[in-house]
Amino acid sequence: DGKTVQAMDILVPRIGEVIGGSVREDRYDVLLARAKDMGLHEADLDWYLDLRKYGSVPHAGFGLGFERLVMLVTGVENIRDVIPFPRYPGHC
């Protein structure tokens, strides 16, 4: 319908998004139009567009936030306490 996407997020209170996933756009004409809208050169994307032009199956994927999963399993409240090498102002 042009208003929705095939995507999902798994949210956990006090932690946030633990898993996010979506279906990859596989329609050649939609990809080409979007690339043009963004000012991208078609030649730079030939390799990617050819994958869709000459056959691709709809496929999806997800990403799991490992540190957020550790927070969920251990009950640690601050993500900086589960990141092996946290970065924050004054500590790089």
Over residues 73-79, the mean pLDDT reads 94
Q: What is the pLDDT of residue 58?
A: 84
pLDDT at 92 over 70: no
Q: What is the pLDDT of residue 14?
A: 92
* Interval 9-42: pLDDT, tens: 999 999 999 999 999 888 889 899 999 999 999 8
Q: What is the mean pLDDT of the chain?
A: 90
Over residues 1-8, the mean pLDDT reads 86
Whose CA is closest to 15, among 84, 88, 69? 69
Strands (E) in 1-92, as ranges, are 7-12, 16-23, 60-64
Look-up of token digits 């999902």? 8
